Structure formats: C-alpha cells, structure tokens
Structure 1
Amino acid sequence: MNDHRARAKAFFNALDLDKPIEFGVAGLVDGGLDRQLYVENIHGDGEFDLVQQLADQIDFAASAGAYLFTGNRGTGKTTELLRLAKILDDLGCEVFYIDLTEYLILTQRIEITDFLFAVLGAFSEKITARFGENPGKPGFFARVCSFLQSDVKLTEVKLPAGPMELKASLQQNPTFKEELQKKTRGLVEQIVKQARTFAGEAVEYVRDQRQDPDRKVVLIVDSVERLRGVGDSADVREVFKSAETLFASHADKLRFTGLSVVYTVPPYLSALAGGLGAYYAGGRIYTLPSVHIYQCRPASGVCPAPYALGEEKMRAIVERRYQAWRDFLSEAQLARLALSSGGDLRDYFRMLRLAITRSPMRDALALSDAVLRDTEDAVRSDMLPIAADDRAWLARIMASHKPELPSLDELPDFARLQQGKYILQYRNGDDWFDVHPLLRREVGEG
C-alpha cells in the first residue's frame, strides 16, 4: 500500500460518527471513542449548556420524572447523552443507557404496549448485566411472556417460547409486533401496572446493591428519534402520528416511581412543545440543535451569516481526530464543507469522507475545489428532486426562519422534511430553522 493511500485511509477512518464519544461510565456502550476527541460548546456559544441543565433538573428534583430530549441524527446526540450520564454519575446517580434499536422495530407504528415491553425489558437486562439477577424476581421479558400466555390470544403468529424469543420478535418480526399491538390495546392498564411494579422492584434492587436507600436511578432511552415509516406516504404519516400519540397521549404512563427516565424523541415533536413539554419533568423538550455555525437568527428574507467561532469548533472536531488534515485540505476548504453541512456533523463527515477517497487517485494528497463540488453534489442529490409543494414550504421557511406549519395536521409532512434534513434547527437565544445550505439554490430558484 502506498503512503498516500495509507494516510487517506487513516483520515477516512478517523471520521467515524457512528461511534459516540464516551466519558468513562463503565458498561453503557461498547467501542466508544476517547473523550479527548470531545469539543465543548459546539451547539451554543458557551452561555448555556443544555445537557448540564437537564442533569441539574434531575439532580434537584425530589421525585423521579420523565424527561424528553431530542436532536436530529447527526448532531452528536448520543455523545451528549453519554456526557449526561457522566455528569449524573459524578453526582451519585446510578445511570443505565439503552439503545432502543436493539430492542424494537422502529420502522413501524409504535404503541404504548410494545414500547413499554421493549424499554422495561431492556432496563431489566441492563440491571442483570450490572448486578446479576434479582433473586426470586423474574426479569421483565419473562413477566411479559407469562402475561401473554395467560391473558393474550394471538391468532396470526405464535407466542414467543421464552424471554429471548420475545426480545428477538419485538426487534425483528414486524408481523408479531403488529399482532401484539392489536391484541393488547384493551389491556393497557394491566400492562402499565406490571411495568410500574417491575420498575419499583428494580429501583429497590439497585439501591440494595449499592447499599444506598436514597440513590437516584436514571434510565436513558436513546434512538427513539429514529422512528420512521419506510412505505408509502400513508405509512410514513401513520408512523409519525404514532410517535405523537405515544408521547402526547400517554405521558402519564411513561413515568415510574423512583426511576427518572430520559426519552429521546423525534425532533418534529418540538413543534408541539407548547402542549407536550408541559406534561414532562422540566416543563420542556430539551432540544439539541445543529452545531452553532451561524451568528444568530437572521432577519426575515436574509441568509444566516457564518459564525467564526463555530467554524473554529468544526475545525477542532476534525483536528482532534486527525491532526494532519491540512495535508488534504486548506483551512478555507474545510470551512467551506463546514458551512455546506449547515452544522450537521453527519453531513460534514460524510462530505469529508467522500472527498478523502478521491485523494489516492491524485499525485498529491491535496484535494481540489472540483472534488469538493462533487462531494457537495453527492450529498445534495440525496435530497433531490423536491416536490413543488415541499419547495414552496421550504421557501417560506428559508424566508422567515420559522416552521411555517399551517396546522398540526401537517406535522407528519414537517417531520418528513426535518428527518430528511431538508430543514435544520438552530438555537441562538431562541430556536429557529433554515433550509439545508446545499438546497438553498434549488429552493430559491423554485
């Protein structure tokens, strides 16, 4: 392997955003990156720390509560949740973390029943992994199996043979999940009662193991924001609507005595913040915006102006992962890709990786502006073509920097645009929105 190719591969592999940065709390994630890679205050100007605010709310509260946390995929959300875990651990809390993609299909509609089965089942597994089984107390998946065998008659699929089969079916079998939802809709109160009984016993077990009767127990439930439909438009709307129903209509069922829970939620639910946040502890949805790469919310009809400190932070993110990046890009070129990403870390790393793979084809490592244009076009093409009605909506957002949501009936369409990163969310004093920079020309020309 020639030296050019080896160095390009090293740079490419240093830009892995699928692995979160971990902060030293053992047993939360496998294969996390070293905390020395973390760059502070990338989502704001340093005057506020959203994660510290959430940690303070949990620490100050005399009773346990349910909290909502959101952010687009690509904002560094999981890393920030692991930082939250570290802060809480330092404050003396017992913190557990679950990635819901390992326990539940997130490309189908979600209901309170299967959601509770997955969340409490995962919590049960994490407790057992840390402390061993609670003598005389079955795990939650085992309890659900017993409940299904005695109270639920499935006609389209077979009942799982045991806890491991139930876990696998929830995560991998769409037909089972759909049938389970149908047959348990009339049994919600019974299921909630079982969930609360288990949560209470689990908290007491954790406290007994730590010999601390007042120890706060916190569960972080990550990846719920990945919930999305993958079929036709009706299916997409149904899945988005199910997330709204889960968190808006069942808020009381997501709280447990003695157990503080932080749920990630799809970012489009922040459009309901006036009504939704009030049902949860903290009285708000804790929203992680895109990287603070613009100066402030611009006036109507004005494009956002670059923020020099934000560009420095984006450069530092790369610098800490691969110090020799200047062999490939000039500072101006790196700043160009940072601005083209709109502060979305996933798109930023994606464009860098696409560009880096072109380097071994050249006599020198340095990349040309033509290569950067190609990488921008590649990311842009994933968002094209834009339907005429979407283009008109995006144009209004680009002009006003507001959601321009005509009614809550249109929330699923707003969700689709936000999840597809046609729209990015920022915070400079208050929350505001803008069209992805790579789409401004297309939207403006429309």
Structure 2
Amino acid sequence: MLTNPLLQSNPMSQDLLTQIYNAFDPFQPLDAEKDQDLYVDFEKARGNAKVERDLGRKIERSQNKPLAQLYAGHRGTGKSTELLRLKKYLEERKCHVVYFAADEGDIDPEDAQYTDILIACTRHLLENLKQADRRIFLPWLEARWQDLIDLALTEIKFDDLKLEIGAKANSSVSELFAKLSTSIRAIPSERQKIREKLNAHTVTLLQTLQAFIADAKKKLPDGKEQLVVIVDNLDRIVPIRRADGRTNHEEIFIDRAEQLRGLGCHVIYTMPIAISIAYSRANDLANLYELEPSILTVIATNTPDGQPYTEGRQRLQDLIVKRVHRHAPDAKLFPDVFESESVLLRLCEMSGGHVRDLLRLVRTAFDAIDELPLTKEAVDRAITGTRDTYRRSVEEEKEWQVLAKVSRDKSLSGEATIYRKLLFSRCILQYAFLGANEHGEVDLQIWYDVHPLVRGVKQFDDAVKSIVMETQQISESNVPLDKIQIYGNNENVYVNIQEIKHPLLSADAELINVMDEAEKLYAQMIDAENYLEASLIARDIHQMYERVADSLKMKQDSDEYAEAIQWSSYWKIRQQTNERRIRSN
C-alpha cells in the first residue's frame, strides 16, 4: 500500500491529521480576529445577506432611538460567526457591545421563557458595565429578599448588603443575578420555583434594568457613544406547543415583544426561523419591532429550478480549502487531502449548503480513516450516518407527505405545526437567490426545499412516489382540466374551480371575477402555446391566492385556509412548468 506523500514527509503525520480534523469543529463559531483567514463571504449565495449592512448600519444611523432587531435562520447556518463579526464592526464604530450566547449558562433551550431571558440580560449587563452603579437594583432586591432566601440563593442579610459600599456591593448584586440565571439553566427542579417567584415582578425588574442602562450609557468607556446588546442562540429554543395551540416561541417573541424592545439600548435577538415564516402572526413581527426580521438562509447550491449554482458550490469548497490549508499550506487538495474532486463536491452537495452539516460531514468522514486522503467510502459512511439522524427526526407519515410536497412545490403548504417542526429540525431548508426574474430584472427569490440527506430515505422516496401516482391518476382520468386535487384528511377529493372558489372568496365578488377572467386567459395562452404569458398569468393567480391565505392566517385550522394554500401551490406549479417550457424552447 502506498503511503500518502503528505504524511510520509511529515513525521508528525497523525498530529497533522488531528489538526485538520479539529479545524472542522461544527459547533465552534469563527473568531472575528483570530479566524479572519478562515472566513468565507457567502453574501451572493444567501440572497445578498450581509450582517454589517442589514443590522449594523441601522444601529449606526439610529443614535437617538434604541432599536430591537431580530436575526433568524436555521441553527448552524453561521449566525454566531456573523454576529461576532458584527460585534467587531460596531466596536470599530464607537459602540460598546455586550455579546453573550444565552444557552451557555443562562437558559435551557429545552424549556425557556421570557423571564429567563430578562434575568440573563440583567446578569450580563451587570457583569460587563462595571462603571455603572449596581446599587440601583437594591430597592428591587429588597422587595424580593425573602423570596431569594426561600430559594436558597443567598444567606446574606439585606441590611448587610446595604451597608456594603463601592466594589463589594456591586459585586454582591452581580453575583446574585448570576446565581439566579445559573439556577434557571442548571437546576430544572428549581427553575419553575424561581419563575413563580419572579414572573409577577418582571415589569419592575425591567424598569430597574432600564434605569441601570441609562446610568451605564452616561459612563461608557472612552470613545464609545452607543450601547448594543447581542443575545445569541435564542434560535435554539425548542418549540413547545401549549394546550391552546400556541407555542412558547409566540409567547416569547410576540407576546413579550414590548418588553424585549424595552431595554433602553440597541439590542439584537436571535430567533427560531419558523417564527418568522410559519406562524399566524409572523407578519406582525415587523410592526411589533418596527423592523422586518433579518434572515440568514442556508447557502444556495442550486437555483430555484434545480440547476447547479456555481457561486454557492464554489464558496463551500473555499470553506473546506481554507481550513485544510491553515494546517497544510503546501498540500495538494487532490489527491493529498481528498481522494478526488468528486469526493469534495459530494460533501458540498449533500450538506444542502448548511454550514454546520458540511463541517459535521467532513469531520465524521475523517473518523473513518487512519490516514489521508479522505476516500469516497469514508464520505459515503458519513453521509449514511448523518442521513439516519434526519430519518429519526421525522416521526409521522404525514410529515413525510409534507416533505414530498415541499420537494415538489418549493414552497410551504399544509399544516403549519408540521412544517414548523420540520424547519426547526432542518429537514426543510430556506434558500434565497438573487437572480433574474422572467422580465430579466434582478430579483430576490426565496424558496424551500428538503435537505439533500432526506432524499435518500425510504419513507421520503415512498411519499414522493405516492404523490407522483396521484398526479398520474389525475392525468389519466376523465377529470376536466379545471379541476385539481385537494389533499386533506388523507382523502383524494376533486374539486371544481367554481365549487371551491366562490365559498372561499365570497366576500369579494370583484376578486372572483378577476380570477375567472385570469383563468380563461391562461387557458387561451396554453392553447396558443404562449408559455411566457401563461407563466405570468399563473404567477399573478398564485400571488392572489397567497394574499387570500394571508388574510386567513388566524384560521389556519379551517378548510378555507387549507384550500387557499393548495390553490396557491397549484398555480405556483403551473408557473414553474411554463418557465421550464420556455427554457426548453
């Protein structure tokens, strides 16, 4: 057996392999200073997303009004890396930034509430803003002192605390809030007790924190003019559905929006991606926070119509190359590190453009080899193992059906609670692509697709076959073309356009007439093989049904909402079909 020349020339070959292996830690964000050589700019492949512009510039230009901004995205897309870069960017522009990852010592993502977040913010501001007067909290603490004793969080007598002066008093206040936050995170049995004691007093705690922040802003370090708080990793909060059908996500980010906005300084919260797109009140976020949430999508490896997207794929390869060359700058990528280019390309493709999954796949593949290069067999083993993780995250047959429809339609439809879960588990990924629309104009296109690792799972393949068979049954039957299949309660029901449309849109007779004329014109364009006009008409009808669905979002469990979603998907498919006809001609 031939020995890899890279390892043969290096007596510390195993050390080198270990160094490269550790360069692909999937849970370690890049340091904005030390890891600048590893950073890859994915802006174009993420729909022109750039954190310095999308979040930072608003802070720079809003000096007289504190902003609360939401930053959403799938877990593992690189939000922490981007926020650490934003921290550096803002610090270079006269901002004092308090950054903390909330799940590393403050909240339990499996069971988090607003109170936990408020305590965490208080703790880190107290620890960071050392020039500010922590004794501002003494009146609030005095009113809660017996509760703190009952919770065994202090043995200090309050009169003793009041007598402490200077740094010692400040330290004691800071330590108390650190104990509160740590207990909420680490001691599940105490978590609810603490909440019960404090929930009724969050308003007065927020008011006290506001006073502390106001004092701190007057005493910022030399040269700093604005205070910014960045609360990371709240996107990891697991969705929990309550008895009334609502979730903890809604309770935190929607019901408590006023409090989250109310710190009195600029603040950025990360947020689960599902809440920005998959909740009935998602559209309220822009009004509640006075700004649209910024979303960091996964990296587009294909265009919306399924064609390879060179920019995204090349940037993913750059990510791998930079991490390898930090430790082996003279290595030839092929065949020293990777057996062939196809092995590297397969890793990028199967990651779906999800950064953490790419790092995880590479690292898991390294586990299967004793020496370089990384082989196809090792990569296949990593893919198989990671695919099984995704398979186990899908628990019900109807979830596989939703995945199959998303794969077909490139949009979200059906039961909202299902695709919230599938978005959180990353079985469904959101993409953004800045490309030319049908008019040749640059346009931001947002779409959804299943994770590539899901595609090889038998249950998914069976669900796809089921949908294909149903479609074939329609085309082979005598059902008129103005009827389509509506999926509901696992029954195949064929509904005439007039039968479904009039009940759905009965409140707007003018819109009904517009739909009638548009559909007649669409049929004429198809007969005339004018596929460009047909695609434009289909797009307009799709958007009209989307607006109807939006108006019914408060009734997501209703038949009308489900029908509007299905009709919207139907016309989206017609639009895409005609666009493919145009390209093929």
RMSD (CA atoms): 2.8
Q: Aligned partner of 1:384: which letter?
A: R
Q: Are residues 393 and 9 of structure 1, via their aligned partners in 2, closer, same or farther at CA, if it must alter by over 3 Å?
A: same
For residues 276 and 46 of structure 1, what CA distance do their matches in structure 2 show?
21
Taking structure 2 as the reference length, what is the TM-score of the superposition? 0.64
**Deviation (angstroms), 1:251:** 1.0
Q: Counterpart of 1:291?
A: 299
Residue 382 of structure 1 aligns to a residue in which SS? helix
1:17 positional shift: 3.1
- Residues 108 and 342 from structure 1, CA distance in 2 versus in 1: closer, same or farther, beyond 3 angstroms? closer
Any idea what SS the aligned residue of 2:268 has? strand
Aligned-partner SS, 1:354: helix
How much has 1:165 moved relative to structure 2?
2.7
Aligned pairs for 1:247-396 (under 5 A) are 247-256=253-262, 258-271=264-277, 272=279, 273-281=282-290, 283-295=291-303, 297-298=304-305, 304-323=306-325, 324=331, 325-326=333-334, 327-329=336-338, 330-360=340-370, 365-385=372-392, 386=394, 387-396=396-405
Match of 2:461 in 1: 444
Q: Decide whether the 8 Å contact of 1:148 with 1:159 is kept in 2.
A: no
- Does residue 1:403 correspond to 2:412, yes or no? yes
Q: Which residue among 72, 76, 82 is the counterpart of 1:74?
A: 76
> Using the alignment, how far apart are the partners of 2:185 and 2:41 within structure 1?
35
The Cα shift of 1:346 comes to 1.2
1:184 to 1:288, Cα distance in 2 relative to 1, 3 A: same
* Aligned residue identity for 1:319: V
Residues 97 and 238 of structure 1: is their aligned pair in 2 closer, same or farther, counting only changes over 3 Å? farther
Residue 192 of structure 1: which of 178, 201, 206 is its match? 206
Query: For 1:57-96, what per-residue CA distance to the aligned partner results, in whole angstroms no more than 9, with x for missing partners?
Result: 1111231111000122221111100111122222222222
The CA distance in 1 between the partners of 2:44 and 2:98, in whole Å, is 25
Q: Note the 1:202-217 alignment, pairs <5 A.
A: 202-206=216-220, 209-210=221-222, 215-217=225-227
Structure 2 residue matching 1:335: 3-state secondary structure: helix
**Residue 222, structure 1, aligned to residue 227, structure 2:** no
Say if 2:117 is the partner of 1:115. yes
Change (3 A) 1:192 1:405: farther
Q: CA deviation at 1:147?
A: 4.4
Amino acid at match of 1:78: S
Instruction: Give the C-alpha shift of residue 263 in structure 1.
Output: 0.5
Opposite residue 388 of structure 2, the aligned amino acid is: S
Take 2:113 and 2:349, find their aligned partners in 1: how far apart are those partners? Answer: 39
Tell me the SS of whatever aligns to 2:219: helix
Residue 292 (structure 1) shift: 2.6
Q: How does 1:423-438 map to 2 (within 5 A)?
A: 423-428=428-433, 429-438=444-453
Contact 2:98 2:124 in 1 (8 A): no
Q: C-alpha deviations, 1:185-207, integer Å up to 9, x for none?
A: 3333222222222222222222x
Q: Is the 8 A contact 1:43 1:289 kept in 2?
A: no
Contact 2:411/2:447 (8 A) holds in 1: yes
Give the residue type in structure 2 aligned to 1:19: Q
Counterpart Cα distance in 2 of 1:96 and 1:393: 41
Match of 2:185 among 171, 193, 201: 171
Which has more radius of gyration?
2
Cα distance between partner residues in 2 of 1:268 and 1:175? 29
Q: Following the alignment from structure 1 to structure 2, what is the Cα–Cα distance between the partners of residues 88 and 306?
A: 36
Determine the C-alpha separation between the residues in 1 that align with 2:89 and 2:359. 27
8 Å contact 1:105–1:171 — kept in the other structure?
yes
**Which segment drifts farther, 351-360 or 64-73?**
351-360
Tell me how far apart the structure 1 counterparts of residues 367 and 113 of structure 2 sit (CA, whole Å).
Answer: 43
The residue type paired with residue 425 of structure 2 is G
Moved more, 92-101 or 188-197: 188-197
2:105 maps to amino acid: Y
CA separation of 1:359/1:137 partners in 2, compared to 1, >3 Å: closer, same or farther? Answer: closer
| Secondary structure at the counterpart of residue 377 of structure 1 | helix
Q: Which amino acid counterpart does residue 58 of structure 1 have in structure 2?
A: I
Give the secondary-structure state (helix, strand or coil) at the position aligned to 1:262: strand
Aligned with residue 426 of structure 2, among 397, 402, 421:
421
SS at match of 1:343: coil
Q: Which residue of 2 aligns with 1:30?
A: none
Q: 1:160 Cα shift? A: 4.3
TM-score, normalised by the number of residues in structure 1? 0.83
Task: Give the match's secondary structure for 2:319.
Answer: helix
**Structure 1 336/242 Cα, relative in aligned 2: closer, same or farther at 3 Å?**
same
Q: Distance in 2 between matches of 1:143 and 1:97?
A: 27
How do 1:16-95 and structure 2 match up within 5 A?
A: 16-24=25-33, 33-41=34-42, 44=45, 47-61=48-62, 62-95=64-97
Deviation string for 1:160-211 (max 9, x for gaps)?
44614323212211222211222333333222222222222222222xx326
Q: 2:251 aligns with which of 232, 238, 245?
A: 245
Are 1:138 and 2:135 an aligned pair?
yes
Q: Name which of 5, 12, 29 aligns with 2:14.
A: 5
Return closer, same or farther for 1:332/1:55 CA change in 2, 3 Å cut-off. same
> What secondary structure, in the 3-state scheme, does the structure 2 residue paired with 1:95 have?
strand
- What displacement does 1:348 show? 0.8
User: Secondary structure of the residue that 1:205 maps to in structure 2?
Assistant: coil
Q: CA 1:55–1:193 in structure 2 vs 1: closer, same or farther (change >3 Å)?
A: same
Structure 2: gaps spanning 5 or more residues: 1-9, 156-174, 326-330, 434-443, 464-585
The residue identity in structure 2 corresponding to 1:427 is: A
Q: How far apart, CA to CA, are the structure 1 residues paired with 2:208 and 2:93?
A: 30
Which stretch of the first structure deviates more once superposed, 247-256 or 3-12? Answer: 3-12
